[in-house]
Each structure stands twice: as structure tokens, then as C-alpha cells.
Structure 1
Amino acid sequence: MNADPAILYASHLAELQRRAGAALARGGFDHLVIPSGTVHYQWFDDRDYPYAVNPQFKAWLPLLRHPGSWLAYTPGAKPKLVYMQPRDYWHVVPEAPSGEWVPHFDIVIVHTPEEALQHLPRDVARCAILGEPQGAPAGYAPNNPPAVVAYLEYHRAFKTPYEIEMMRRATRVGTRAHRAAEAAFRAGASEFDIHIAYCAAARQDACELPYNNIIAINRHGAVLHYMDLGRTPPPQARSFLIDAGASHAGYACDITRTYSADRGDEFQALVDAVDRAQQAMCDQVRAGFDYRQLHLDAHLSLATILRDFGLVRVSPEAAVATGVSSAFFPHGVGHGIGLQVHEVAGFAASEDGGAIARPDGHPYLRLTRTLASGMVVTIEPGLYFIDMLLEPLRAGPQAGSIDWKRVDAFHPFGGIRIEDDVVCTEAAPMNLTREGFANA
């Protein structure tokens, strides 16, 4: 693959124009108009929330901090960028547009929202306007036509070579920061200080990361989205679970690793078993394979580990059939990833819309589509010791299926999750995360 960003971007933009033309035809529109979004303020305060660019906008342009800008595309014409450069001495004003993407756009620099509207298509009724209604200017409120949105989001699952390269670069940042976080944990740092070490190594502030870091020591690893960040280290550090990503040009990586404080103890052996199983799951990311089946296979694989480590007394098949495995592995095996960490259209039945249902008994799976070349997905199996889920088992008819003494022995470690970002290709899958760690 040619990794020259300029060449990759030109091909990427051509594909976006092709998709936009098809989407507009389906919806019966002539123009695609996408606002970058606006700054929102907190109620009863003058503080603004961190600005988040419209994903539909950043699919076209690597502009992440430019509220008030617009993209307009009419098939057969050059895309237009209405670039907001406000006259503002309170904040840093965006510099003039620069980068390999600039020659591909007609660029108009404006200084006020009213001026921006003068450069958008005049016949608003013929525009598909994609964005949030909050803060929309009069006359150009987003209509988000379902036929247009469904088509664009369905096809967003298929990443262009440019997008995969951007995700690879995000992964380089993320794996470097993961190495720094592990080192901080082993040096005895608190969760908060590990988080700071991560941000420093990534050279990204918390609001620039694609999601809030999960930095969990000991029992905190049993909270799936633990984000409290303890300020002092625990008296004894047993385990460390970190789920943290990084961004590059608007694209995300999503990486999770788990470590035992004692590299030679039984918890580390359990981590290693989950890691081996996870790599086998990653190898299932093949064109034509149903992601729902990958999730169900993950349950059987993890139930096998539970049996091998003496945590359950029944067969893996019985543990899955009776719901015992779901108490230890309560979330989905992964999701799509790209411009958004949880990429859109994970359930899309087709480019016309519709939804593919989750398997019965698995309400938290985020992706149900059949895999195809160009899709990028996460694979993130886990085993956890969550009181809220284990207590009903202990009191219920399946209590005898579990060796509770073994559960109690692992309980102080919280849980395990291993997560990689994997590209589906026409042949063997490409694991961006393992590649990143190999070069970190």
C-alpha cells in the first residue's frame, strides 16, 4: 500500500464524492451540505463544553477545531469549503488552510456565520444538510434525510486506504502511550498519575483523546467503564486494566491491556490465556464471516478458559447455554471503529437502512453485520469478577456450576480485557494494534 498521505487522500476524497452522489440520488437532492458544528455552552454558566466536530464533516476534511465552517458538495463540481476564521481577540483564530487536502477544494474564508450562509447553495429545499439541529442558523437547519444518512453511514464501515493509514498513525500514538502507562503502574503511580503519564506520552490532552481513559487498578477493573481516577496508589497493587485510545486526523484507535503486578502469578496466567484466545478471535476477522457468530464463539472460548482455570465446573457449552458465561463476560466482543470509536451503522441491514438483530441473550453487542474487506473492528473479550452479576448466580440454580473459592481468589484482581483494532482484508486480517506494539 502506498502510504503517501497526499495520494491516499486524493483517492479517499474521490470515493467520498462517489458515495455522496449516490446518496443524493437516492434521497432526491442536488447538494450535500455539512456544517462542522458549533460550540455549546453549559446551562446557567458561560463555560463551553469541549467542541466536537461533526463526524460527517471530518470524513471529508482533517479539520477538528473549526466550528462554524461548512462543506458543500454538488456532484460534478469541486467540493467547497466555507472556512470560518472569526475576528476574535479572545481566542486563537484558525490559520489559513494548509495541507495536502487544500488543492481539492474551492475555499472561501469567512468571518461571521451570516457571511458563511451567503456561500451555500441557494435552493435549500434541494439540500441534504447533515448535522445537529442545535445552534443551526435560520434557513439551513439540518434535515438529515434518512435515505442519505443511511447510505453514507452504511458505507462508512468500509474504510479507504487513507482512513486505514490514519488509524495506523493513531495506533502508533496509542501504543506508545500504553507503554508509558504500564511503566507508570509498575513504578507505583496512582490511577490519576498513570492517566497523566499516558496523556504526556501521547502528546494529547484528555479532550483530544477519542474517549475518556479507563485506568483501573485492582477491583476497579471490575467496573467496565471505570473513570474515577484515584489520586493515591492503593496499599497493594495487584492488577492494572487500561482501556485508552488516541487520535490522528480525526480517526481513533481503541486499545485495552491488562497486567498483573506479579508477572509470574496465576492472574497473569489467566491474562495470558485470554490474550491467546483474543488473538484467535482476531484471526476470525475474515470477509464473509458473521460478526454475531464471532461474538458467540468468543463466549465458548472464554467459557473454556473458565473451566480450565477451575472457575466453573460444567462444560463450556453448558456454561454458555445457562448464561453462566455472560456473568463473567457481560459485554459485546467489539464494534466498528474509525471516525468514531463506536462507529455508526453497526446494525445496518443494507445501504437502505434496516437493522440486523443481536443474538438472543446478548443485548450489548454493538455490531451485527457480516464482515467485508475494508471494515475495521475491535476485538475485546474479557473476564470479570463483578459482584452485581455474580451475586444472582451465587443465590440461583446455577450456583453449583461455579467453584466459589476459585472466584474469591481472583476477585481482588477485578477483571481482564484485551482489545485490538483489526482490519478485514481480502486475505488474512491486519492487526493494527499488535503492529503498533511491535514498533512502540
Structure 2
Amino acid sequence: MRALLTRAFAWSAALGGAVLVVGAGALLVVAAGERAASEDRRDAASVAAVLAVTTDPDAVRGAVARTAAGASGRLAAHLPDGAVVGVGTAAGDVVEVSTVDGGRARVGISAPAPVVTTGLVAQLALLLLVGVVATGAAVALGRRRTVPVVDALRALADTAGRLARGGDGRVRVDGPPELAALATAITAAADRAERLLAKEREMIADVSHRLRTPLTALRLDADALGGGPVADRIRSAVTALGHDVDRIIESLHPVATAAGGTCDVAEVVAARMAFWSAHAADQGRPCEVELPGGPTPVPLPADELGAVVDALLENVFHHTPARSALTVAVVGHAGWITLVVEDGGPGIADPGRALHRGASGGGSTGLGLDIARTAAEATGGTIHVERGSLGGARIRLRLGEADSHHEPASPRAWRLWRGRRP
């Protein structure tokens, strides 16, 4: 910003200085021309004064030689007898004079004096130097006057960076009233966002704790079912639900989530698919899982990535018919780990809206895709909603590999849904 302002000041000061230098230089040239013409007239008048006293050629020749115009060969005296003293003609400025013997003599300047002289060049050079110095002083003064503005803009930019990283958004700047008002608005917006986030955490905590009572009753009922694969599957589902509620409650505490961590995407997907594959088999749903042989580390805790996998698969089981096919794949390439969940259902009618929490439509809150998008962006990646080869939706989650130092996706967006294949 400071460099931009400096260039602007430099161009403005240079333009103003050029106008002043050119104008002052033109005045100097005009003044020099008038001064040279005045000197020529004075030389002609001095020779005319000698002719009024005497027409002796030697005396007139001495008078002509003593003038600057005569020395430069531009002045000539025409005597009454037709003799010419000096060099040149009387075609230019002519001064007529009456001689002592009653005759008429003429003194003429054949060419004007040169305007560009050593003195004029020196004056123009001094004027140019003054213009350059004045331009530099104007730029330095302008930079000094913009220091508060640049400092205020830098403070606002730093605050915006902290907000993007989830930090404090409070800022106070000393600068122009407009920037101070902008800082106040940013602080107010940050405070409001913090209050809304706290309210959201409080609401989730309340809902999660309210789930405790029916969840306990459901666990007791599941224990009363006795043995058998169906009873075991119900007890496993109740246990997984209880763990999910525990993770939601724990995630509300900033200290618990600040530690971060890494996990292996293939291992997390394999662990979660042990549960979801059994659920798919119970529905008669074809289910394929493709996992790579090598490590696939991402900078996310295993619980957080497991919640992402559960959210995506829960969407598939909730919004597609029971016997719709399901494919889950993990691919690592060029510093990115891609998690793909594809189904054979009807697809997503409005993917842009589906990725906005609370406005998904189709009987969904959009919470599952919002959780997945947030996790992907936390690693510098993106989420893409596409049509898959099975005919339904394909959710492609692009996660930045651990220790790859990916920049945040810009813009943080998604690929829009393409038209249904014929």
C-alpha cells in the first residue's frame, strides 16, 4: 500500500513540477529574447548618437566596434555618401539620424541577437534542479502524511488475517475517521460472530445432553434383547451413537480441540466401514471399499475425521433407497488425500444449497456436508459435489496431506453439480 501511495505521489509531484518548470522556463526564454532585443536597440542608438556628431568613417567604425551587435557582425552604419561602416544590411531594425552636415544616415541591425546563451542555459539548469528537489520533497512529505493511513490499513489487514485463522477480531486504529469506523464495525462483527458461536455451542450442548436420557433407555432396551446378530448390531449402533454424543460434548470445549493431531485416512475409513458395511448388508445394499496400501496422513484428529465419514455415510443411508449401491474410496496423490463417497441414489438437486448449513432442502439440514467442508478447508482442501458413475451423488473430499504445507483453498468453493446424464 505504501509503495502504491508513493508512486501516486511521485507521479503527481512530477507532473506538477514539470508544469511549473516548463512554464518558468518559457518565461525565462521570453525574458532573454526581450533583453537581447533591448541590447540591440541600445547599440543602434549609441552608434546613431556618434553619427549625429560626426560622419568620420574612423570614428563611426570605432563606435560600431565597441557595440556587441557590431562585434558580432550584425550592425552596420550607412553614411550619407553611401559608404557602409560595419557588416550587414539595414534590412532589420533601422534607426535614421540627421548628421552634422545636414545629411541622413541609417543604423541597422541585420539579425536579432541569439536568445540561447550560456547564462540562459545555467538558469534553466538551476530551475530544473529546483524542480527535482521540490518533487522529492513533495513525495517525502506525502509519505509522511500517509503513515497513519498505512498503519491503520495494516492493522485492519492483520485483524482480517486473525479472523480468518479463528483468532481475535478486536482492533482499534488511530487514523482517518473512515478507517476508524471500519475498525469499529469489524470489532462489532467479530463480537457478534463470537456470541453466535457461543450460542451455537450452548445449543448443541443442550441438545447433546438432552439425548442422554433417551440414549440410556435405548441402551437398556438393547441389553434386554438377549443374544443374536440383530441384538448385537443394535447394541453396537447404540454404543456408536453414545460415542458420537460424547465427541460432540467434548468438541464444545476449546481446550479439548486445540491439541489437533494427525490420523491415517485409510485406517479411519476402514474402522468406520466395519460398522457401515454391516448396516449396508442388512439393507441389501452393495458396498465397495477401496483403500490404498501406503500411509495417508492428514492433519486432523481421528475422531474428527471419523465424524466426517459417519456424516457422509449417514447422508447416503438416509437419502437413498435401501438397495442403492455404495462405494467408498481413498486415494493419495501429489500431497493430497482424496476421500470419495459415491452412491447410486437420485443425486443432489441443488449442490450449492446443500453445502450451506441449515438451507440444504430435500429434508436435510446440510449439517453433514458442512462438517465435511469444514474439515477439508481446515487442511487447505476443498469439497466437490459431482455426479458419480453409479448415477447418484459423488462427494469428493480433497484433504491436504500432513506436513505438505498447503495454502488455504482460494476461493473456498465447490464444484457445482453437472446436469444429469441422459
Tell whether the structures are fold-level matches, with TM greater than 0.5. Answer: no
TM-score by length of 1: 0.19
The TM-score with structure 2 as length reference comes to 0.20
Work out which of the two has the higher radius of gyration on C-alpha atoms and give 1 or 2: 2
Q: Which has the larger helix fraction?
A: 2
